[in-house]
């Protein structure tokens, strides 16, 4: 009986110990749950605060953007929108997303930009003196509504430089609607007469124009077939003989191979086919020593390298002077 009671007491002690251990474990779990709950509450509050701050920032940014847009003029807004569209299209093109639709999409954007007023409205030109305004406008291709952003500067420059008077050209955009065109016009070196018509000739022997030749009375007058091509070389030769060049009024091309110079006093100087510069040097020397160009002379023939011939006005017979230019 006593042993049975002692066993029951031991069981009650073990049961109460187990209950105490279970209670302690439950208390620990409850404390952990409370701590996690507090952490979750803290994290939620932090996220809520961050979202609220971000919302305030977005609203402030939108407000500033709307205020800025209100300050801009309607034209600038249209230009900005058009530029953004172009950037979007460019990005799609680079990424390869447009594919076969590129041309159609570009054309649509171009029409959109034109409709929004992003066009070439003004052209400023410098360096133009003899180039026709109508020809320049046609070469630029700015008639009607032309997209400012898609205007092809390179092709326009090529067209302008193809004009007769234009030697070089540069074209730049000036935001928001202006093209700046700078021209360097060709410099004529001679007036060419052929078939009773007059043309201005440039340093390459090319014809510039049949207009404005009266604006260049100081230029050398060259006459005959092939005279335009040979004019640059003759002008260069005359520039080396300062005492002869001012007295030359015309140069007649003979047989497309040599020159006859008509001086201001009516004297004709016949230059050779070859070494015309040597003949001009001899003429300058004779002028310095004998004042030949002031004498009663009608023709000075320098075509032979070892002698020259003179014919006076009073005596039509030709006289020979040996020595000439030398061999």
Per-residue pLDDT of the chain (327 residues; tens, 9 = 90+): 545 455 555 555 555 555 455 455 555 555 555 655 454 445 455 655 665 665 566 556 545 655 555 555 555 655 665 566 556 556 655 555 555 556 665 666 666 666 666 788 899 999 999 999 999 999 999 887 788 878 899 999 999 999 999 999 999 999 888 999 999 999 999 999 999 999 999 999 999 999 888 899 999 999 999 999 999 999 999 999 999 999 999 999 999 999 999 999 999 999 999 999 999 999 999 999 999 999 999 999 999 988 889 998 887 766 766 555 554
Say if residue 81 is exposed, middle or buried (CB neighbours under 10 Å; 0-12, 13-18, 19+). Answer: middle
- Partners of residue 202 on adjacent β-strands: none
Is residue 43 a part of any domain in this protein? no
pLDDT of residue 327: 41
Is residue 173 a part of any domain in this protein? yes
Q: Does one domain contain both 157 and 179?
A: yes
Q: Does one domain contain both 227 and 312?
A: yes
Q: Does one domain contain both 282 and 229?
A: yes
Q: Which domain holds residue 154?
A: 122-185
Is residue 99 a part of any domain in this protein? yes
Is residue 91 a part of any domain in this protein? yes
Chain centroid to CA 304: 53
- CATH number of residue 148's parent domain: 3.10.20.310
Q: Does one domain contain both 181 and 209?
A: no
- CATH number of residue 263's parent domain: 3.40.50.11690
How many CB atoms sit inside 10 A of residue 126's CB? 10
Find, among 199, 211, 164, the residue nearest to 183 by Cα.
Answer: 164
Q: Which of 133, 159, 185 is the last residue of a domain?
A: 185
Q: Which of 185, 211, 239 is the last residue of a domain?
A: 185
Q: Does one domain contain both 315 and 195?
A: yes
Q: Does one domain contain both 103 and 226?
A: no
Reported pTM: 0.63
Q: Does one domain contain both 111 and 152?
A: no
How many CB atoms sit inside 10 A of residue 169's CB? 24
- Rounded CA separation 6/134 (Å): 129
List CB contacts of 326: < 8 A, sequence separation 6 or more: 305, 306
Chain centroid to CA 194: 37
Q: Does one domain contain both 180 and 295?
A: no
Is residue 290 a part of any domain in this protein? yes
Q: Does one domain contain both 102 and 219?
A: no
- Rounded CA separation 10/14 (Å): 6
Q: Does one domain contain both 133 and 231?
A: no
Q: Does one domain contain both 161 and 256?
A: no
Q: Does one domain contain both 271 and 208?
A: yes
Count of domains forming the chain: 3
Question: 61 to each of 53, 57, 58, 78, how far by Cα in Å?
Answer: 12, 6, 5, 21
Contact 294, 300 (CB under 8 A): no
């Amino acid at each position: 009986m006593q042993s049975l009671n002692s066993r029951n007491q031991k069981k009650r002690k073990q049961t109460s110990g187990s209950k105490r251990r279970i209670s302690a474990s439950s208390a620990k779990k409850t404390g952990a749950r409370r701590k996690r709950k507090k952490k979750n509450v803290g994290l939620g509050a932090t996220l809520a605060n961050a979202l609220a701050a971000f919302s305030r920032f977005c609203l402030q940014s939108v407000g500033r953007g709307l205020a800025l847009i209100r300050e801009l003029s309607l034209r600038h807004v249209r230009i900005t929108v058009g530029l953004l569209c172009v950037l979007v299209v460019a990005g799609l093109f680079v990424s390869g997303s447009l594919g076969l639709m590129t041309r159609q999409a570009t054309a649509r954007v171009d029409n959109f930009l034109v409709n929004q007023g992003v066009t070439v409205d003004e052209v400023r030109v410098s360096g133009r003196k003899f180039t026709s305004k109508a020809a320049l406008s046609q070469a630029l291709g700015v008639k009607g509504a032309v997209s400012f952003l898609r205007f092809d500067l390179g092709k326009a420059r090529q067209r302008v430089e193809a004009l007769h008077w234009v030697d070089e050209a540069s074209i730049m955009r000036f935001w928001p609607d202006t093209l700046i065109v700078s021209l360097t016009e060709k410099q004529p070196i001679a007036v060419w007469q052929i078939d009773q018509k007059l043309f201005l000739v440039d340093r390459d022997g090319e014809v510039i124009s049949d207009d404005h030749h009266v604006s260049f009375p100081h230029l050398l007058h060259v006459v005959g077939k092939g005279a335009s091509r040979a004019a640059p070389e003759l002008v260069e030769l005359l520039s080396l003989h300062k005492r002869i060049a001012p007295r030359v009024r015309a140069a007649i091309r003979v047989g497309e191979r040599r020159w006859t110079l008509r001086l201001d006093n009516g004297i004709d100087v016949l230059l050779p086919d070859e070494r015309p510069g040597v003949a001009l040097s001899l003429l300058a020397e004779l002028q310095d020593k004998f004042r030949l160009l002031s004498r009663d002379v009608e023709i000075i023939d320098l075509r032979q390298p070892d002698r020259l011939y003179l014919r006076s006005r009073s005596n039509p017979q030709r006289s020979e002077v040996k020595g000439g230019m030398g061999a």
